[in-house]
Amino acid sequence: MAKTRVGIINVTGYAGIELARLLCRHPEVELTSVTGRSNAGKPLAEVFPHFAGIDLTITPHLEAVDFIFSALPHKESAQEIIPMLEGEAKVVDISADFRLKEAENYPRWYDFTHPAPRLLEEAVYGLPELHRDMIVTEKLVANPGCYPTGAILAIAPAIKAGLVAPDIIFDSKSGISGAGRTLKLNTHYSEANEDTSAYALEGHRHLPEITQEIEALAKKQTFAITFVPHLVPMTRGILTTAYASLVPGKVAGGRTGEDELVKYFEDFYQDEPFVRVVKSPPHTKHTLGSNYCHIFPTIDRRTGRLVVISCIDNLVKGAAGQAIQNMNIMLGLPETTGLESLAVYP
């Protein structure tokens, strides 16, 4: 039986090249076409020497494929994808262009007017742990952002069980690869090394995505969400700590309450192949290079406040790996196919 032909639009960004790395070893699909404007005409292995032995040439336009990943920046991705949706190929978009359901959010958070608002309702938000049943049947899936993946997975069981008050704080720390390959002053080695900084305190563009999914899970209850991202001097990884006040009477006090909380999380994720509720606070190295999300829920006994720590690789579960997880679901393949590698350590 012929393998599904897969293409990547914009292979030369960090998410695109991570997609290529994972797809080249996927047993059920064949990566047949990759695009990149500035490197069109060059062998992939010439631009990225770690692909030595892989016979693929970067082209300016996508060739005939059955499945498409778009790794273009926001705004550009929608413009490229919309005409392609008229064909038979299914699409996973790694940009933010189809994540938000309300078109009016795009001028505010992404500085452009969405060219196809009707597609925002049709596209499925591609967090399998929440929307697997819809992902199965859809043609266009919006891959979640890296920060929202860690944040939403950290708090979803507590939201679903009605354990927390509607005021949540997310503190997230990300490696520099999350800023992409385009050179910026704050990601130069001498600027970022031995330095940690908070940014986007006026509101990060991933905030409406986090809010949208949390409020949908809570049946449209309104939440006040504070999200503060930080840049830390490492290549990969996102460590998120979520804080929320517990609703009185929902869990017991002391160790009994902590055990009850862990049980809520374990039950919520018991059938999820890439989420692990762990016994101690996770480190970013625990998920490095893997599609896993590690989650550690606990209660601050002094304040009665919920504290949940989650950890992902921003380029895998936060981007390319989750995109392939979505592809597997859309193609009717076992969800874990090509994604079961453990973390790289040290």
Are 76 and 167 members of one domain? no
In which band, very low, low, confident or very high, does the pLDDT at 193 lie, cut at 50, 70 and 90?
A: very high
Strands 305-312 and 238-246, by their bridges, are: antiparallel
Render pLDDT for 325-346 as a digit per residue (tens, 0 to 9): 999 999 999 999 999 999 999 9
Give the other-Cβ count within 10 Å of 193's Cβ: 9
Mean pLDDT (the chain) is: 96
In which band, very low, low, confident or very high, does the pLDDT at 253 lie, cut at 50, 70 and 90?
A: confident
Are 181 and 235 members of one domain? yes
Render pLDDT for 284-313 as a digit per residue (tens, 0 to 9): 999 999 999 999 999 999 999 999 999 999
Predicted local distance difference test score (pLDDT) of residue 3: 95
Q: Is the pLDDT of residue 182 over 90?
A: no
Do residues 225 and 210 lie in contact, with contact meaning Cβ atoms separated by under 8 Å?
Answer: yes
pTM of the model: 0.97
CATH number of the domain that 280 lies in?
3.30.360.10
Predicted local distance difference test score (pLDDT) of residue 16: 98
Are 96 and 201 members of one domain? no
Are 105 and 163 members of one domain? no
Predicted local distance difference test score (pLDDT) of residue 179: 92
For 192-197, the CB contacts below 8 A with 24+ separation are 192/231, 192/233, 193/233, 194/233, 195/231, 195/233, 196/230, 196/231, 196/232, 196/233, 197/230, 197/231
Pairwise pLDDT comparison (184 vs 134), residue with the higher score:
134
- Could you tell me the two tokens for 184? 């910026």
Predicted local distance difference test score (pLDDT) of residue 284: 98
- The average pLDDT across 26-48 equals 96
Beta strand extents in the chain (DSSP E only): 4-9, 29-35, 58-59, 67-70, 90-93, 124-125, 140-142, 164-174, 197-198, 224-231, 238-246, 275-277, 293-300, 305-312
Burial group, residue 33, by CB count within 10 angstroms (0-12, 13-18, 19+): buried
Render pLDDT for 53-90 as a digit per residue (tens, 0 to 9): 999 999 999 999 999 999 999 999 999 999 999 999 99
- The average pLDDT across 221-242 equals 97
Task: Say if 210 falls within a structural domain.
Answer: yes
Task: Say if 339 falls within a structural domain.
Answer: no
Are 129 and 190 members of one domain? no
Q: What percent of the chain has pLDDT over 70?
A: 100
Give the structural domain span for 63. Answer: 4-144+318-330
Do residues 150 and 238 lie in contact, with contact meaning Cβ atoms separated by under 8 Å?
Answer: yes
Are 89 and 162 members of one domain? no
CATH number of the domain that 94 lies in?
3.40.50.720
How many domains, in total, are found in the chain? 2
Are 131 and 27 members of one domain? yes
- Could you tell me the two tokens for 67? 């499945």
Active site residues: 146
Are 194 and 302 members of one domain? yes
Task: Say if 345 falls within a structural domain.
Answer: no
What are the φ/ψ torsions at residue 325 (nearest 5 degrees)?
Answer: -55, -45
